[in-house]
Structure 1
Amino acid sequence: MARRFAFVTVLLAAVVLALSPTAQAKAKYELRFNHVLGPTHPYHAGFLKWAQRVKERTNGELEIKVFHSSQLGVEEDILEQVRQGVPVGQNTDSARLGNYVPGIAVMNAPYFVSSIEEVVKLNKCPTIKKWEKQLEDEFGFKVLSFNWVQGFRHFMTNTPIRKPEDLKGLRIRTPPAPIWQESVRALGAVPTALNFGEIYTALQQGAVDGAELVYDNITAGKLYEVLKYVNETGHFLLINFQVISSKWFNSLPEEYQKILVEECDRAGLQTSYMIQENTEKVKQIVQQKGMTVISDVDLEAFKAAGKAAYEKLNLLEARDTIYKELAEIKE
């Protein structure tokens, strides 16, 4: 009798599992999504939440598998796979997308915007919509969302920085995109391109003198072990773009396309505000770990210096156009 009861129990459990809409539905569409950040970074949790909601709303037919720490490959290689129509996605930025559509790089230029609310308004700018369409039509990138804001990037070094002159001669790690490189150069340092995962070792070995990153990068990468100062220049508000293949996106049912975009926007804003609220806590942690925060930075001097990057890359007109459009957008 006991054996028969156990069999019935197992059978009932199997029936319940089979009837679950998301547990047993086989995914018809699968997206592998890559990012360079570690598994403890808030973005990773945000991407997982995005994936969960998409799976629920599509009854398991559209599944996103999230890979942290560049497990699928370095960012630039993944972007090329996206262009070729491979069903992969990448957390990237307008600096790298500027390699394809130069104007869009302005969104990662020095002191461009200063709040999440301004980033949300950027979604309504006709010029940015035009750039997104160009990325899709000419280069195969579908921008799902850029409502992902990591926060302000600061110079992190082993010497205190208060004015652009203090950066003279310092080799600062920055991504290999023109707007990042020219911005760091304009602000006084020597830009040095390295992949994100190489920062710790490069600092440890003296290959670079510092990096420009957001606060969460310090704790996620244990960079407090190889850096002494966070110099609060806030020179970039780091706006991230989630991109996938436009060819693959267009192969999805329209309803699934809508869900993919809606939930990416939703998870992005929730994650961005969470990071903003958590920044003070992270700031306290890095100080407890021995880093010194330099807050008396000459921001006006840095803003003035940053203008050279706009001029070098012919982005002043793009910047002024976006500012005009933002001013015309009603709340």
Structure 2
Amino acid sequence: MKSFKWISVLVVLTFVCFLLAGLAMAVPKYVLKFNHVLGAAEPYHEGFLKWAKAVEERTNGDLKIEVYHSAQLGVEEDILEQIRAGANIGQNTDSARMGMYVPEIAVMNAAYFIDFMGAKTPEEVMETLRKIKESEVMKKWLRDLEEKYGFKVLSFMWVQGYRHFITNKPIRTPEDLKGLRIRTPGAPIWQESIRALGAQPVAVNFGEIYTAVQTKAVDGAELVYANVVAASLYEVLKYMSETGHILLINFEVVSSKWFNSLPPEYQQILVEECDKAGVETSLKIMQELEESFKQQAIEKGLQVITDVDKEAFMKAAEKAYEKLNLVKTRNALMEAIKEE
């Protein structure tokens, strides 16, 4: 009888040991909480989930990325400060906000930047970004962000599409924007670009655009088609004027302190898979989804204006480059990608 009891005890202990071992194996050694302001239905969210899955698989579960949509962890500006402090948090941001720290890097979100670089097709856009990433000019900016301000840029191979003006009147020339209050992010490059194109820029959080239009705090916004559909803005605004004034290039950033705490092979995996998911998501958006979201918006009643005087808008955009002393910066990048 005693022997039976001892056997039972051993069986239970063995089971507990296996259970504890399994739990230990299931708990990741490193966790990144990744935040973005877009909704769960946006293509970017799916892209971030694919990135997370690939990283978890390649690190055998040691490095886990938890993706939070709709700014569940907080507004972008607060998250960026937590990142600088060394928190294990990541944020989908852009060069405009990174330009608050290294001013030159903001040029990538200036009006018609990608047009000035000469890229037209989705493939040319991604190749241009690759060349920029490899340029000594960009490498210096990224080092400054990391060493002086605590930001590690994992990738900027994430393109959200072309931004257009969505308003309650057709926009064909810069003059048509005169007197209109247009929602745009608060960073200087966004503000000056929209001002140069003829409108009055107003900083409003992404999730508050619908209400801001309803209350007439703004007369419209400038967004990609996916944003318009996800936020149902076709319910309060009538026209999407295809100015294509900004190709939204996003940056995926984490704390340099946290990043440097990872084993070197995990650092490499995190960057490689971020670039890979970014290229895949970006090409899918530019090649397939932009037109799909456009058609969805049209079906909901949005009217699309295509006869836009792009040459006039590009000429007007120069004022933003001049105002922020970014003409030489833009030209330096143009030369850098030609030399590669």
Say whether the fold is shared (TM-score over 0.5). yes
Query: Corresponding residue for 1:142?
Result: 152
Change over 3 Å in CA distance of 1:21–1:234 after alignment to 2: farther
CA contact (8 A) 1:22 1:59 kept: no
Runs of 5+ in structure 1 lacking a partner? 1-13
Q: In structure 1, how many angstroms separate the alpha carbons of the residues matched to 2:25 and 2:161?
A: 39
| Structure-2 separation of matches of 1:322 and 1:119 | 11
After TM superposition, give the deviation of residue 98 of structure 1 in Å.
Answer: 0.3
Task: After superposition, give the CA deviation of every residue in 1:224-254 in whole Å (9 maximum; x if it has no partner).
Answer: 1111111000011110000000000000000
Rounded to whole Å, the distance in 1 between the matches of 2:60 and 2:266 is 11
Gaps of 5+ in 2: 1-14, 120-124
> How many Å separate the matches in 2 of 1:45 and 1:165?
39
| Distance of 1:226 and 1:120 partners within structure 2 | 38
Partner residue, 2:295: 284
Q: Following the alignment from structure 1 to structure 2, what is the Cα–Cα distance between the partners of residues 163 and 208?
A: 19
In the alignment, what sits opposite 1:300?
Answer: 311
Where do 1:177-216 residues align within 5 Å?
A: 177-216=187-226
Query: In the TM superposition, what is the alpha-carbon distance from 1:25 to its structure 2 partner?
Result: 2.6
Q: How does 1:80-99 map to 2 (within 5 A)?
A: 80-99=81-100
Q: Which residue of structure 1 lines up, in the alignment, with residue 257 of structure 2?
A: 247
Select the structure of larger CA radius of gyration. 2
Q: Is contact 1:22-1:56 (8 Å) kept?
A: no
Q: Is the 8 A contact 1:156 1:210 kept in 2?
A: yes
Output the amino acid matched with 2:218. Answer: V
- For residue 265 of structure 1, what is the aligned residue in structure 2? 275
Return closer, same or farther for 1:21/1:136 CA change in 2, 3 Å cut-off. farther
Q: How many angstroms does 1:120 deviate by?
A: 2.3
Structure 2 distance, partners of 1:265, 1:99, is 23
Deviations 1:162-219 (A, max 9, x none): 0000000000000010000000000000000011111111011111000010110011
20-29 or 174-183, which deviates more? 20-29
User: How far apart in 2 are the matches of 1:176 and 1:21?
Assistant: 48
Distance in 2 (alpha carbons) for counterparts of 1:126 and 1:212: 32
1:297 and 1:58, CA in 2 relative to 1: closer, same or farther beyond 3 A?
same
> After the TM superposition, which parts of structure 1 deviate over 2 Å for at least 4 consecutive aligned residues?
20-25, 114-117
- Corresponding position of 1:317: 328
Secondary structure at 2:158 match in 1: strand
CA offset digits 1:107-148 (Å, max 9, x no partner): 111111142332222111111111000000000000000000
Q: Percent identity?
A: 64
Give the aligned residue type for 1:104: I
**Residue 48 (structure 1) aligns with:** 49
Q: Deviations over 1:287-306 (max 9, x none)?
A: 11001100000000000000
> What are the within-5 Å matches in structure 2 for residues 18-57 of structure 1?
24-57=25-58
Write out aligned runs for 1:34-183 (5 A). 34-113=35-114, 114=119, 115-183=125-193
Change (3 A) 1:60 1:189: same
* Letter paired with 2:57: E
AA aligned to 2:263 is: P
> Is the 1:150–1:214 contact (alpha carbons within 8 Å) kept by the matching residues of 2?
yes
Q: d(CA) in 1 for partners of 2:201 and 2:143?
A: 31
Within 2, Cα distance between the matches of 1:56 and 1:282?
A: 32
Shift of 1:26: 1.2
Correspondent of 2:339 among 300, 304, 328: 328
Do 1:22 and 1:55's aligned partners in 2 also have CA atoms closer than 8 Å?
A: no
> Aligned residue for 2:248?
238
| Amino acid of the structure 1 residue aligned with 2:240 | V
Task: Kindly state the Cα deviation for residue 24 of structure 1 after the two structures are TM-superposed.
Answer: 4.5
Match of 2:85, as an amino acid? Q
Amino acid at match of 1:218: V
2:36 partner amino acid = H
Tell me the amino acid that sits aligned with residue 319 of structure 1: R
